[in-house]
């Protein structure tokens, strides 16, 4: 007997523990399920029935999803994170570290956090963007989360990577700069990219992901998520066309011509397994235009229905097809191809603008043509040297050598050539080049700025729009802020002029806010 | 005494003997006098010729002449005089010769000399009997037996010998006996003016002046005769000058005058031939004073100019830049020349206070008249203070023992040695200026029309103007490196630029020459366009490589500065909890200064994005620091501490970003290095395989009994001659340079000759003997003419502003070399061109079988070409030359492939060999680019102040691994005990393996060594 007693007691102990802990674990699972479905309020409700270690762990999860990093830090210190593999996936400590010193600016139902200093220039407009996005997309999709939406703008890619939980190599190679995750939005500051990016649309894009995940209980597949986000990302600012970038359009045009689309099956479950950046871009273009077609045919009211049916467990592809008036997704796909042929796509061969983070490359590294072409960079650099030495005409000769007719046109080269023509007092020619460049690369801040400068010199009121576009891409250019101050002033828009004057001063002083104190980590 | 019977005959016979004795004595006296006089003359001549004082020579000569002559004259006469009339003397001699006389003759002679009337002993009868007997003996005894002529032999021989020596001295001694005595007669004493009135306005006509210089012994110079002289005497002090001249008219007497003072009589032969001797002692004038009757007339005045035994002349042939590296050899090339020999070399150093000191370099035991060397000591080895200006002179001492060793000094070199950091800063500033100057030149050339002008006059104007575009570049280069830019980053780049510019200007000047009547062809236009492109490419390459180095250094400096700032910020944050406010503020000030340095480094960046990245971060940090200061001043210490942590973090992020970028660049560089290695290996293997296939084809032919041996050997010789021809043509072109100093037509001929010579290559490569011979025959006369014309340029009169072509001898030598090679080619090609037998069917079949292998090689080559192209694009120092060579190799392989498939074995072989050579050339071009990249990296290290001391010149220490390959100087011979040790040390040094990128350099190094 004595020999049997220990296993008996051990077995009873385990059974007792399971019986006592079972309700708590079930509550925690439900809470986790709520968070998975992006329902923070639901998770808060589930928290109420939990106590002890589970309660503490639930607090940690909720705090992490809310973006309350002060609480996260405290709970992690208290041992709430646990040590299991599931807990290890959430980058609690890294997020706390990445968010250290960030300050907050709130708005209606939104909270924007950013690093003090130059990124203060983003805060005001980030709040505006997020508020507008909430209004636009909640209405569009038939509702949205009730909790405050937290947007963290990380000053560097390194800090973004830390808070994202993604492998650094993956972020740097894929160029991911924003995420919708843990019911929050994570954004890399446009300052971390050499020439900025369309960060406001990106905020809206990520918010769409959040709303769609919330509305569908996180059941929307990636293709649907990306299609909706891509097509609708400009709608917060009233852009209903939802046009794709010139590069994506050119890929689509080529696919329409050759019939070589990315098979839907290849990315239906995940976009991560596509072979190349070009293929991924084409896939995004395909789904975005499918959404466009759906909205064209069924109207925007179809979107809440789509959300509800997907949330209810219907097959997203079938629902999508039915809402578009097709019996099957294949039928929808064929009609989409036909529709695509009628669209005015940019047929010119273009390339995507590479993403270079944290000063990780020189200016040519972020150029679609010159990046990876040291032989052409040589002529580009020679052109720069000649231009800077006051030989614009000779510089044009070198810039011309940097053009490879078999590859897309370089926006950087176009900007430099425009500079030369401007120096040669041929602004018409310069403007022509800039317009040509912007037709292909509207997100090229330098081209926008050059256009603004050229137009402003001619007294053209369109200069305001160009500078405004440059500002939306890269607000850290002091010349752009000064120009906007002047132009808004001339236009009698005192408030806007004052805002950009404030930005200009912020840039002049290196981002100082007199007497400000960086708050402790949240 | 009664003189009867035989007695009178005896008297007569004895008197005859006396007369003969007197005659012989006289002859001996004469010979003695001649001998004595001759000895005197010889002594005088000898002393004078040896450079002795004229008075001494003359004095000794006259004394010897008088004494010798007197002794020689008197000595023989004295005994004769004493014995005059004494018949007994002669009788005794006869008695001695004929003892049978038994004193009878003496008895008779004794009687004969007695006074008349005195009675002698004995009777007359007995006397008569004795006389008869004696007379009989005397009668039979010829006088020559008593006084033989043999007694004259020795004096006569002595006299003849002395006379002969005197004659020889007159003929060959620097100062003849007569001239030597003349010095004694008139050593330059009294004025002649007083002797006879002279009209100074009338001068005698004197011509055919011949000067024979006999130099002092220490000079080591042999005598020199100058015919048809203008009379001016140039010689060092102590030189004896024999003057020969001819007057127009006859004179009775001539004197030699020096500085208006009589020096002595001159020999006047036949009234017109003048001969005189003088010894050079000082500057002045000399002349003849000629007398005819009462009239005295002077010859023109001729100058005596002392050729000082001048101090050695030291010339600097390759002065260093003004700010050499403290630990690198100065590398000053110099040459020394002296009249009579150099004994010692040293460096004279003058510090800023004017203090002088010498550092010995070499003792020259053989006292050469010319020395060439290189000052290989570093400023530190010379003890020059770093950062201070010193004046250096290479000094040499001559071997003049009389006047003391005279010192010659080179031009003064003002140098301010710089330590690694200073050197780096200076190099960076230089490269920046050089790049900017080159950018201006590039701008001008990019905008030139092509061709530069249609009209001849406009083209000439363009060329004249464009030639000056590179002047600023040349000036900067000279200011930085002196004459020695070898082994630097910019050296080969600029050499290429200048060479291409030279080719372009030369072509334009020759092709568009006004008045040449030559019409411009489409080929001319195409050629000038190609040359313009070449120059632009060279400029682009130079600018890009220099700029890339500057950019890399700026980024490295920025990264280092960012690291320093981040470290300081971390430390500040670490001590923030414990340190006093004062200390924190002080450290903030320190951080501010470091941020300023960081901003300065950022300002040097060319990348606008990166500059913006850094500026925004430093601006933000500055502002944060202001906030920290404000918090500290307001007593918000906790706030300040928190902000310090934030600051540290921000700066750390910036530092890491830059570090990432550097790491990324390093990764790219490593990948490129790996790709380069792989490509080089592939090329090496391809070359080897191509050669092996060619060899296999040869062996197949041999096995099939084809007469391959001779033909192959002949083509091997032709290939060799062709290589040498191309080398000479290139050397010729390089030596002619941009054509300054040459006449246009000469340049045109030279251009054409080089072009024709190069055209020989293609048919030789294609194993086309007839075509190659045609080309050779066409090129030979052109090259010959070019050689002749270039040679004539050396002596052509030039205007004051027209430069003399610097490398004309080199150009002429290269042209001569090219002519020789063309002749060699002709000799080799002629028999081959006459042959032309077709290959046997078996050989053709064998060739066709190898076609597949050749095809496989062609595929490999194509693959390699793609890799090579990628690698060259990524390598900033590459210009696509390797790819171009690889493309040529592809063409050769294609021709080889065609030839093999058609069974043309010989043609295939030629193209296979050519392909292998071209692959090799491609590999070498890539290696050269690699080597230039090494120089680029070395320059970057130097700019960052990472230069390290140069090793021991003997190579016995570890040396400096950071010193670039071209900085390796061949050690000076004086660093070794023997020449053999020197040679051995060099060979040992070169025997080791070197990295691939240094292979080409190693080869050049060996070639240089062999030239030494």
In a domain, A314, yes or no: yes
Are residues A344 and A223 part of one domain? Answer: yes
Per-residue pLDDT at A2? 35
pLDDT reading at B188 higher than 50: no
Inform me whether the C-beta atom of residue A374 falls under 8 Å from chain B C-beta atoms: yes
CA B260 to chain centre: 45
Torsion angle, alpha carbons of B744, B746, B748, B749, to 10: 170
- Which residue among B837, B852, B887 closes a domain? B837
Q: What is the pLDDT of residue B948?
A: 47
d(CA A366, CA A355): 6
User: Do residues B426 and B413 both lie within one domain?
Assistant: no
B479 and B387 within one domain: no
- pLDDT recorded at residue A196: 86
With beta carbons less than 8 A apart as the criterion, state whether B74 and B35 touch.
no
3-class secondary-structure state, position B920: helix
CATH number of residue B809's parent domain: 1.20.120
Task: Calculate how close chain A gets to B786, using CA atoms only, in Å.
Answer: 38
Contact B357, B276 (CB under 8 A): no
Residues 6+ away with beta carbon under 8 Å from B609? A194, A195, A359, A362, A363, A366
Please say which residue of B365, B389, B418 terminates a domain: B418
**A385, B545 Cβ separation under 8 angstroms:** no
Q: Do both B300 and B326 map to the same domain? A: no
Contact criterion met (CB below 8 Å) for B908 and B857: no
For residues A341 and A432, state if they share a domain. Answer: no
Do the chains contact at A512 and B621, CB–CB below 8 Å?
no
Question: Cα dist. B164→B34, B181, B304 in Å?
Answer: 11, 18, 34
- Residue range of the domain that includes B413: 313-418
Q: Which has more confidence, B485 or B231? A: B231
A506 occurs within a structural domain? no
Of A101, A159, A512, the CB nearest to B626: A512
Average pLDDT value for residue range A432-450: 91
Q: Do B438 and B361 share a structural domain? A: no
Is residue B369 included in any domain, yes or no? yes
Helix (H) / strand (E) element for B248: namely none
Cβ contact A450:A441 at 8 Å:
no
DSSP H helical segments within B101-229, as ranges? 104-113, 124-140, 143-146, 153-172, 177-185
On whether both B384 and B454 belong to a single domain, the answer is: no
Q: Are A145 and A84 within one domain?
A: no
Q: Kindly list the distances between the CA atom of residue B532 and the CA atoms of A256, A438, B500, B522, B551, in Å, as whole numbers in the listed order.
A: 47, 36, 8, 15, 28
Q: Check pLDDT > 80 for residue B972.
A: no
Q: Strands B407-409, B356-363: parallel, antiparallel or unpaired by DSSP?
A: unpaired
- The DSSP string of B348-388 is EEE-TT--EEEEEEEE-TT--SEEEEEE---TTTTTPPTTS
Confidence of residue B928 (pLDDT cuts 50, 70, 90): confident
Give which of B374, B375, B378 is closest to B948, Cα–Cα: B378
The model's pLDDT over B230-270, given as tens digits with 9 standing for 90+, comes to 889 988 888 899 999 988 888 888 999 998 888 888 988 88
pLDDT at site B860: 93
The phi, psi pair for B287, rounded to 5°, reads -165, 165
Q: Is the residue at A166 inside a domain?
A: yes
Q: Do residues A444 and A437 make contact, with C-beta atoms less than 8 angstroms apart?
A: yes
Residues 872-891 of chain B with CB under 8 A from chain A are: 873-874, 876
B967 in any annotated domain: no
- Residues 6+ away with beta carbon under 8 Å from A58: A27, A28, A31, A43, A46, A47, A50
pLDDT the model gives residue A132? 96
Separation CA B543–CA B436 (nearest Å): 8
Q: Do B643 and A517 touch (CB under 8 A)?
A: yes
- The residue with greater pLDDT, B589 or A346, is B589
Residues B960 and B970: their CA atoms lie apart, in Å, by 15
CA distance B234 to B230: 11
Q: How confident is the model at residue A85 (pLDDT cuts 50, 70, 90)?
A: very low
Helices A329-341 and A277-298 cross at an angle (nearest 10°) of 100
Judged against a pLDDT cut of 80, whether residue B173 lies above it is answered with no
B27 band by pLDDT with thresholds 50, 70 and 90:
confident
Selection from A310, A296, A69 nearest residue A211 by Cα: A310
Q: How far are the Cα atoms of A256, A289, A324, A393 from residue A342, in angstroms, in the given order?
A: 10, 12, 17, 43
pLDDT at B287 over 60: yes
Q: At what angle do helices B881-901 and B841-849 cross, to 10 degrees?
A: 130
Do A310 and A231 share a structural domain? yes
Q: Are residues B593 and B583 in the same domain?
A: yes
* Beta bridge partner(s), residue A184: A150, A181
* Complex ipTM value: 0.75
Is the peptide bond preceding residue B451 cis, with omega within 30 degrees of 0?
A: yes
Which of B435, B639, B653 is opposite residue A156, by nearest beta carbon? B653
Residues B294, B336, single domain; the answer is: no
Same domain, A112 and A182: yes
Distance from CA of A317 to the nearest CA of B (A): 43
**Number of domains comprising chain A:** 4
- Quick check: A404 contacting B, CB < 8 Å? no
CATH code of the domain in which B410 resides:
2.60.40.2060
Looking at residues B988-1010, what average pLDDT do you find?
Answer: 57
Pair (A262, A193) in one structural domain: no
Going from the C-alpha of B706 to that of each of B485, B709, B909, the distances in angstroms are 54, 8, 14
> Residue A115 domain-assigned?
yes
Residue A433 lies in a domain: yes
Rounded distance between C-alpha atoms, residue B765 and residue B891, angstroms: 12
Alpha carbons A513 and A505: distance in angstroms, whole number: 10
CATH of residue A165's domain is 3.40.30.160
Backbone angles phi, psi at A35, to 5 degrees: -65, -35
The predicted structure's pLDDT at residue A139: 95
Check B609 against A159: CB less than 8 A apart: no
Tell me which residues of chain B, numbers 542 to 561, contact chain A at a CB-CB cutoff of 8 Å. Answer: 543-544, 547
Would you state the pLDDT for residue B693? 92
User: B137 and B21 in one domain?
Assistant: yes
Contact B607 A191 (CB under 8 A): no
Q: Are residues B436 and B398 located together in one domain of the fold?
A: no
pLDDT above 90 (res A225): yes
Contact yes or no for A129/A139 (Cβ under 8 A): no
In the block, tokens 């010579």 appear at B757
Give residue B179's pLDDT.
Answer: 64
The kind and range of the H/E element at A224 are helix A222-232
Both structure tokens of B437: 């100057």
Q: What is the mean pLDDT of residues B596-606?
A: 77
Classify residue B915: in a domain, yes or no: no
Residues A134 and A200 in one domain: yes
Of B746, B733, B818, whose CA–CA distance to B789 is shortest? B746
Q: Give me the residues paired with residue B298 across strands.
A: B203, B289
Alpha carbon B894 to its chain's center: 48
CA distance A90 to B169: 119
Burial zone of B778 (CB within 10 Å; 0-12 exposed, 13-18 middle, 19+ buried): middle
* Single residue among A474, A493, A513 that ends a domain in this structure: A474
Both A278 and A388 in a single domain? no
Q: Are residues A334 and A386 in the same domain?
A: no
Pair A49, A79 in one domain: yes
Show residues of chain B in contact with A120, CB under 8 Å.
none
- pLDDT score of B21 more than 50: yes
Which of A348-362, B178-192, B742-756 tops mean pLDDT?
B742-756
Does A67 fall in a domain?
yes
Residue of B nearest to A357 (CA): B657
CB atoms within 10 A of CB A115: 29
Task: Give CA A282 to chain center in angstroms.
Answer: 18
Q: Are A402 and A376 in contact (CB under 8 A)?
A: yes
Among B611, B617, B621, B638, most A C-beta atoms within 10 A, so best to mutate, is B617
- pLDDT for B50 equals 61
What is the count of residue pairs from A and B with beta carbons less than 8 Å apart? 127
Residue at a domain's end among A188, A218, A248: A218
Instruction: Specify the CATH number for the domain of residue A443.
Output: 1.25.40.10
Residues of B with Cβ-Cβ distance to A517 under 8 angstroms = 627, 631, 636, 639, 642-643
> Which of the 8 DSSP states describes residue B838?
P
Of A90, A114, A146, the one marking the end of a domain is A90
Judge whether B202 and B275 are in contact, CB under 8 Å: no
Sign for the CA dihedral angle at A392, A396, A401, A403 comes to positive
> Are B543 and B569 part of one and the same domain?
no
B687 domain residue, yes or no: no
Residue A369 has pLDDT above 60, yes or no: yes
Residue B264: HSE in the Cβ half-sphere, 13 Å Cα cutoff? 21
User: pLDDT tens digits for B313-330?
Assistant: 898 876 677 778 787 788
Could you tell me the pLDDT band of residue B804, with boundaries at 50, 70 and 90?
Answer: confident
Alpha helices in B704-760 (DSSP H): 708-736, 744-758
pLDDT band at A365 (very low <50, low <70, confident <90, very high): confident
Q: Which tokens hold the place of B364?
A: 């020259």
CA distance A153 to chain B (A): 15
Single out the residue of B836, B844, B842 nearest to residue B903, CA to CA: B844
- SS3 state of residue B299: coil
Q: Where are the beta strands (DSSP E) in B507-662?
A: none
The answer as to whether A10 is a domain residue is no
Domain of residue A200: give its range: 94-218
- How many domains in chain B? 7
What dihedral do alpha carbons A77, A80, A86, A92 form, nearest 10°? -40
For residue B516, give how far its alpha carbon lies from the nearest alpha carbon of chain A (Å).
34
Of B620, B653, B656, the CB nearest to A118: B620
Query: Using one digit for the tens of pLDDT, what is the confidence trace for B776-799?
Result: 999 999 999 999 888 888 777 776
What's the confidence (pLDDT) of residue A350? 54
**Nearest Cβ partner for A385 among B547, B627, B645:** B547
Question: Quick check: A510 and B618 CB within 8 A?
Answer: yes
Is residue B375 pLDDT above 90, yes or no? Answer: no
Residues A199 and A229 in one domain: no
Confidence of residue B1001 (pLDDT cuts 50, 70, 90): low
Q: Which residue has the tokens 């470290």?
A: B567
The reply to whether A212 and A234 lie within a common domain is no
Which of these three, B105, B132, B163, is where a domain ends? B163
- Residue A492 confidence (pLDDT): 95
Please indicate if any CB of chain B lies within 8 Å of the CB of A521.
Answer: no
Whether B501 and B365 map to the same domain: the answer is: no
The DSSP secondary-structure symbol of A364 reads: G
Contact B94, B108 (CB under 8 A): no
Residues 166-195 of A with CB under 8 A from B: 191, 194-195
Asked whether the beta carbons of residue A391 and residue B440 sit closer than 8 angstroms, the reply is yes
Residue A490 lies in a domain: no
Identify whether residues B403 and B274 lie together within a single domain.
no
Query: Residues 25 to 84 of A: which have CB under 8 A from any B CB?
Result: none
CA distance A148 to A130: 11
pLDDT band at B154 (very low <50, low <70, confident <90, very high): confident
Q: In chain A, whose CA is at the least distance from the CA of B608?
A: A363
Q: Are B678 and B873 in contact (CB under 8 A)?
A: no
Of chain B residues 626-685, which have a CB less than 8 A from chain A?
626-627, 630-631, 636, 639, 642-643, 645-646, 649-650, 653, 656-658, 660-661, 664
Distance, in angstroms, between A118 CA and closest chain B CA? 7
In a domain, B957, yes or no: no
Residue B62 has pLDDT above 60, yes or no: yes
Q: What is the dihedral angle through the alpha carbons of B220, B223, B224, B227, rounded to the nearest 10 degrees?
A: 170
To 10 degrees, the CA torsion angle through B607, B610, B611, B613? Answer: 160
CB-CB neighbors (< 8 A) of B876 in chain A: 374, 378
């Amino acid at each position: 007997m004595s020999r049997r007693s220990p296993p008996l007691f051990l077995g009873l102990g385990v059974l007792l523990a399971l019986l006592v802990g079972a309700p708590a674990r079930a509550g925690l699972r439900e809470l986790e399920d709520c968070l998975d479905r992006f329902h923070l309020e639901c998770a808060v409700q589930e928290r109420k029935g939990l106590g002890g270690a589970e309660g503490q762990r639930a607090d940690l999860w909720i705090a992490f999803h809310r973006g309350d990093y002060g609480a996260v830090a405290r709970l992690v210190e208290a041992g709430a994170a646990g040590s299991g593999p599931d807990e290890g996936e959430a980058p609690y400590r890294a997020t706390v570290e990445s968010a250290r010193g960030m300050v907050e600016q709130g708005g209606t139902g939104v909270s924007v956090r950013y690093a003090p200093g130059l990124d203060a220039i983003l805060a005001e407009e980030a709040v505006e963007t997020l508020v507008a996005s909430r209004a636009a997309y909640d209405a569009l999709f038939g509702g949205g989360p009730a909790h405050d939406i937290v947007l963290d703008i990380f000053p560097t890619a390194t800090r973004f990577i830390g808070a994202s939980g993604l492998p650094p190599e993956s972020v740097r190679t894929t160029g991911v700069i924003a995420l919708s995750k843990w019911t929050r939005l994570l954004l890399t500051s446009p300052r971390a990219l050499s020439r900025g990016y369309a960060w406001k649309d990106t905020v809206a894009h990520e918010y769409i992901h959040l709303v769609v995940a919330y509305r569908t209980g996180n059941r929307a597949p990636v293709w649907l998520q990306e299609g909706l986000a891509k097509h609708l990302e400009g709608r917060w600012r009233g852009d209903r066309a939802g046009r794709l970038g010139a590069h994506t359009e050119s890929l689509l045009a080529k696919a329409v011509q050759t019939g070589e689309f990315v098979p839907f099956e290849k990315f239906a479950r995940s976009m991560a397994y596509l072979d190349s950046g070009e293929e991924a871009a084409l896939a995004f273009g395909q789904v975005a235009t499918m959404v466009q077609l759906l909205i064209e045919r069924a109207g925007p009211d179809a979107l809440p229905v789509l959300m509800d049916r997907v949330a209810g467990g219907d097959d997203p592809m079938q629902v999508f097809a039915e809402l578009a008036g097709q019996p099957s997704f294949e039928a929808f796909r064929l009609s989409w191809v036909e529709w695509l042929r009628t669209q005015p796509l940019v047929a010119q061969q273009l390339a995507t603008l590479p993403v270079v983070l944290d000063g990780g490359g020189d200016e040519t590294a972020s150029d679609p043509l010159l990046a990876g072409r040291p032989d052409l960079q040589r002529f580009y650099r020679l052109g720069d040297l000649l231009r800077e030495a006051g030989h614009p005409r000779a510089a044009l000769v070198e810039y011309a050598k940097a053009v490879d007719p078999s590859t897309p046109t370089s926006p950087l080269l176009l900007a430099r050539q425009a500079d030369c023509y401007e120096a040669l007092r041929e602004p018409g020619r310069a403007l022509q080049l800039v317009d040509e460049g912007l037709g292909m690369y509207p997100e090229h801040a330098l081209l926008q700025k050059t256009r603004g400068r050229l137009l402003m010199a001619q007294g053209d009121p369109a200069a305001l729009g160009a500078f405004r576009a440059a500002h939306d891409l890269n607000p850290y250019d002091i010349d752009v802020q000064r120009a906007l101050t002047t132009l808004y002033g001339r236009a009698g828009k005192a408030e806007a002029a004052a805002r950009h004057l404030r930005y200009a001063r912020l840039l002049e002083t290196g981002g100082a806010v007199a007497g400000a104190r960086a708050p402790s980590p949240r | 005494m009664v003189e009867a019977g035989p007695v009178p005959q005896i008297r007569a016979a004895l008197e005859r003997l006396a007369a003969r004795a007197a005659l012989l004595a006289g002859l001996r006296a004469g010979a003695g006098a001649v001998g004595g006089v001759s000895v005197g003359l010889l002594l005088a001549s000898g002393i004078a010729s040896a450079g002795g004082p004229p008075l001494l020579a003359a004095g000794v000569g006259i004394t010897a002449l008088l004494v010798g002559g007197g002794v020689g004259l008197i000595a023989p006469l004295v005994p004769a005089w004493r014995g005059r009339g004494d018949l007994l003397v002669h009788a005794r001699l006869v008695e001695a010769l004929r003892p049978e006389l038994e004193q009878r003759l003496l008895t008779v002679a004794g009687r004969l000399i007695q006074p008349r009337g005195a009675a002698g002993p004995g009777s007359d009868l007995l006397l008569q009997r004795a006389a008869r007997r004696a007379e009989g003996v005397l009668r039979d005894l010829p006088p020559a037996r008593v006084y033989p002529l043999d007694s004259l032999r020795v004096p006569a021989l002595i006299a003849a010998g002395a006379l002969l020596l005197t004659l020889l001295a007159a003929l060959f001694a620097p100062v003849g006996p007569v001239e030597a005595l003349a010095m004694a007669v008139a050593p330059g004493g009294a004025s002649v003016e007083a002797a006879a009135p002279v009209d100074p306005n009338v001068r005698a006509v004197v011509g055919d002046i011949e000067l024979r210089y006999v130099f002092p012994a220490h000079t080591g110079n042999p005598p020199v005769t100058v015919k048809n002289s203008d009379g001016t005497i140039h010689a060092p002090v102590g030189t004896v000058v024999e003057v020969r001249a001819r007057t127009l008219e006859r004179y009775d007497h001539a004197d030699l005058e020096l500085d208006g003072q009589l020096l002595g009589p001159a020999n006047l032969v036949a009234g017109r031939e003048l001969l005189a001797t003088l010894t050079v002692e000082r500057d002045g004038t000399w002349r003849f004073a000629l007398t005819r009757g009462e009239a005295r007339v002077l010859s023109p005045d001729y100058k005596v100019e002392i050729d000082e035994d001048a101090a050695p002349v030291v010339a600097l042939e390759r002065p260093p830049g003004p700010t050499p590296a403290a630990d690198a050899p100065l590398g000053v090339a110099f040459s020394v020349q002296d009249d009579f020999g150099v004994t010692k070399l040293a460096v004279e150093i003058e510090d800023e206070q004017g203090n002088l000191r010498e550092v010995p370099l070499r003792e020259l035991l053989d006292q050469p008249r010319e020395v060439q060397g290189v000052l290989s000591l570093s400023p530190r080895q010379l003890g020059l203070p770093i950062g201070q200006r010193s004046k250096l002179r290479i000094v040499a001492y001559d071997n003049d023992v009389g006047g003391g060793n005279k010192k010659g000094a080179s031009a003064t070199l003002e140098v301010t040695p710089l330590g690694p950091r200073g050197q780096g800063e200076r190099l960076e500033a230089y490269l920046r200026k050089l790049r900017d100057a080159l950018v201006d030149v590039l701008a001008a050339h990019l905008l030139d029309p092509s061709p530069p002008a249609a009209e001849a006059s406009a083209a000439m104007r363009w060329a004249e103007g464009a030639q000056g575009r590179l002047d600023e570049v040349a000036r900067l280069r000279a200011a930085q490196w002196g004459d020695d830019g070898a082994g630097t980053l910019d050296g080969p780049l600029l050499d290429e630029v200048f060479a291409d510019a030279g080719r372009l200007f030369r072509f334009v000047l020759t092709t568009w020459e006004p008045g040449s009547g030559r019409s411009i062809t489409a080929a001319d236009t195409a050629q000038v366009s190609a040359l313009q492109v070449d120059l632009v490419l060279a400029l682009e390459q130079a600018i890009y490589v220099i700029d890339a180095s500057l950019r890399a250094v700026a980024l490295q400096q920025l990264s280092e500065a960012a690291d320093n700032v981040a470290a300081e910020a971390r430390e500040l944050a670490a001590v923030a909890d414990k340190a006093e406010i004062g200390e924190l503020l002080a450290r903030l000030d320190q951080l501010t200064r470091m941020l300023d340095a960081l901003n300065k480094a950022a300002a040097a960046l060319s990348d606008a994005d990166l500059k913006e990245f850094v500026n925004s971060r430093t601006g933000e940090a500055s502002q944060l620091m202001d906030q920290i200061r404000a918090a500290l001043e307001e007593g918000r210490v906790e706030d300040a501490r928190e902000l310090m942590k934030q600051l540290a973090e921000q700066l750390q992020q910036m530092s890491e970003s830059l570090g990432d970028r550097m790491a990324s660049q390093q990764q790219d560089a490593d990948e490129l290095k790996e790709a380069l290695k792989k490509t080089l290996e592939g090329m090496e293997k391809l070359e080897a395989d191509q050669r092996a296939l060619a060899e296999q084809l040869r062996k197949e032919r041999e096995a099939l009994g084809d007469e391959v041996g001779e033909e192959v050997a002949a083509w091997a010789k032709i290939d060799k001659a062709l290589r040498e021809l191309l080398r000479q043509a290139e050397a010729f072109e390089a030596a002619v340079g941009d054509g300054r100093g040459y006449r246009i037509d000469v340049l045109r001929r030279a251009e054409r000759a080089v072009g024709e010579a190069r055209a020989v290559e293609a048919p030789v490569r294609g194993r086309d003997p007839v075509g190659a011979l045609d080309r050779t025959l066409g090129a030979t006369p052109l090259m010959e003419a070019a050689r002749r014309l270039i040679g004539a340029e050396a002596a052509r009169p030039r205007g004051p502003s027209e430069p003399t072509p610097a490398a004309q001898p080199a150009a002429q030598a290269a042209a001569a070399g090219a002519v020789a090679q063309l002749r060699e080619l002709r000799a080799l090609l002629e028999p081959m061109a006459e042959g032309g037998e077709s290959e046997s069917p078996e050989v053709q079949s064998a060739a066709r079988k190898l076609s597949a292998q050749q095809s496989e090689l062609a595929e490999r080559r194509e693959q390699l070409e793609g890799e090579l192209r990628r690698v060259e694009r990524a390598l900033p120092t590459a210009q696509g030359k390797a790819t171009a060579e690889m493309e040529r190799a592809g063409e050769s392989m294609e021709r080889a492939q065609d030839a093999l498939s058609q069974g043309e074995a010989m043609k295939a072989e030629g193209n296979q060999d050519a392909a292998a050579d071209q692959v090799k050339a491609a590999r070498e071009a890539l290696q050269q680019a690699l080597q230039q990249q090494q120089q680029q990296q070395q320059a970057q290290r130097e700019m960052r102040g990472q230069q390290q001391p140069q090793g021991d010149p003997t190579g016995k220490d570890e040396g400096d691994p950071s010193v670039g390959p071209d900085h390796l100087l061949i050690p000076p011979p004086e660093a070794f005990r023997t020449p053999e040790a020197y040679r051995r040390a060099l060979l040992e040094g070169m025997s080791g393996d070197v990295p691939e990128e240094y292979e080409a350099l190693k080869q050049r190094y060996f070639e240089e060594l062999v030239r030494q």
